Amino acid sequence: MTLLQVRGVTKEFVTRGEGTMARKSVFTAVDDVSFEVELGETLAIVGESGSGKSTTARIAARLLEPTAGTVVFDGQDVTRARGKELASFRNNVQVVFQDPFSSLNPRYTVERIITAPLTYQGITPKGGRRAFTQELMERVGLNPDHCRRYPAQFSGGQAQRIGIARALAVNPKLVICDEAVSALDVSIQAQVLELLMRLQRESGFSYVFIAHDLAVVRQISQRVAVMNRGRIVEVGTRDQVFGDPQDEYTKTLLAAVPRINPEWDARRRGKRAS
């Protein structure tokens, strides 16, 4: 079942100099981008800085309105959704951002952060807020006894788990991860990636996974879209894109990824296995 359809989306930003007669110029951040996300799958959007991947994510999350094109979620056109319609969309689509510390309110406790989406809708979870929060914290691998703490009392990896728990509070069908593991150290990054995959297996929602790191994308995605200068230059299954890239830019990108000397790596694994 197709969960999200992004059709011909374009986003232009108008930059304007100062003064009454200054020239305007238009910058096209996203240029006629279309893709689909199936229920339960992970679509990764990769690209370098300025490729338009984050703008695309924001449009898909309805945090930005496109200049042209449509966003269809669950059969409903939500491109210009307002009020109730938008609220129900937000109930189904959640975002996890890159920097957990700047995207979590530092003055709120974890409990208040995680239950905020419910509070806004006037829902009291079964068994009360405390139990609800603690259950979610346990699911994302946090100590439930810490539900009265503030974000600053957690490490970067733990704070990102809070961000993930908050996204899951409304039981969404789609979670958009915008560079969600990019700021984390490798050891933490691997754990958070594992967590994201486990949660998906448990709940069956979809991910749109925005990242610049191809190796990370390869771990988590089923399908991959490669963006360059506002356009999708290649889209396909993970093995197609990584194993047999068709587009020149994709090939350049793949070739540029630094690799641990494969010979050394193989020797290490050989030793470990024996």
Partner 1 sequence: MSGELFVVDNLTVTLPTSRGPVDVVKNVSFTVGRDETVGIVGESGSGKSMTALAVLGLLPRGARTSGSVRLDGAELLGRSDRDLRSVRGNAISMVFQDPLSSLNPYYTVGLQIEEMYRTHRGGTRRAARRVAIEALERVHIPDAARRVDHYPHQFSGGMRQRVMIAMALCCSPSLLIADEPTTALDVTVQAQILELLGELQSTTGTGMMFITHDLAVISSIAQRVLVMQAGDPVEYGTAEQVFSDPRHEYTRMLLDAVPRIDDEVLS
Partner 2 sequence: MMRYVLGRLGGVILILLAVCLFTYLIFFKLSPDPAVMICGKTCTPERIDSIRDVLGLNQPLLTQFWDFLSGIFVGRDYGSVHCSAPCLGYSFQTNESVWSMITARLPVSITVAVGAAVLWLLVGVIGGLVSAVKQGTWWDRSAMGLALGGVSVPNYVLALVLQYVLVVKLQLLPFPSAVPFADDPLLWLESYLMPWVVLAVGYACLYARLTRSNVIDTLAENYYRTARAKGLSGALIMRRHALRPALTPITTIFGMDFAGLLGGALITETVFGLNGIGKMAADSIAKNDQPVIMAVTLLAAFFVVIGNVVVDLLYTALDPRVRVVSS
Q: Which of residues 213-252 bind partner 1 (CB under 8 A)?
A: 213-216, 218-220, 242, 252
Partner whose binding site includes residue 20, from partner 1, partner 2, none (CB under 5 to 8 Å by kind):
partner 2
Is 185 one of the binding residues for partner 1 (CB under 8 A)? yes
Strand partners, 13: 27
Is 260 one of the binding residues for partner 1 (CB under 8 A)? yes
- H or E segment to which residue 10 belongs: strand 2-16
From residue 33, alpha-carbon distances to 28, 95, 213, 235, 257 in Å are 12, 20, 21, 11, 25
CB under 8 A: which stretch of 56-64, 90-98, 111-119, 180-188 binds partner 1?
A: 180-188
Is 17 one of the binding residues for partner 2 (CB under 8 A)? yes
- H or E segment to which residue 25 belongs: strand 24-38
Is 14 one of the binding residues for partner 2 (CB under 8 A)? no
Which member of 1, 19, 49, 263 binds partner 2 (CB under 8 A)? 19
Is 190 one of the binding residues for partner 1 (CB under 8 A)? yes
CB distance 115 to 123 below 8 Å? no
Q: Output the smallest distance, CB 185 to partner 1, in A.
A: 4
Q: Output the smallest distance, CB 23 to partner 2, in A.
A: 8
CA 23, 29, 34, 39 dihedral sign is negative
**CA 89/CA 80 separation, integer angstroms:** 11
Is 49 one of the binding residues for partner 1 (CB under 8 A)? yes
With a CB cutoff of 8 Å and minimum separation 6, the contacts of 125 are 115, 118, 131, 132
Residue 142 in 3-state DSSP?
coil
Partner whose binding site includes residue 75, from partner 2, partner 1, none (CB under 5 to 8 Å by kind):
none
Is 21 one of the binding residues for partner 2 (CB under 8 A)? yes
Partner whose binding site includes residue 21, from partner 1, partner 2, none (CB under 5 to 8 Å by kind):
partner 2
With a CB cutoff of 8 Å and minimum separation 6, the contacts of 124 are 118
Nearer residue to partner 2 within complex by CB, 15 or 261:
15
Q: Would you tell me which residues interact with partner 1 (CB under 8 A)?
A: 48-49, 156, 185-190, 193-194, 197, 212-216, 218-220, 242, 252-265, 267-268, 271-272
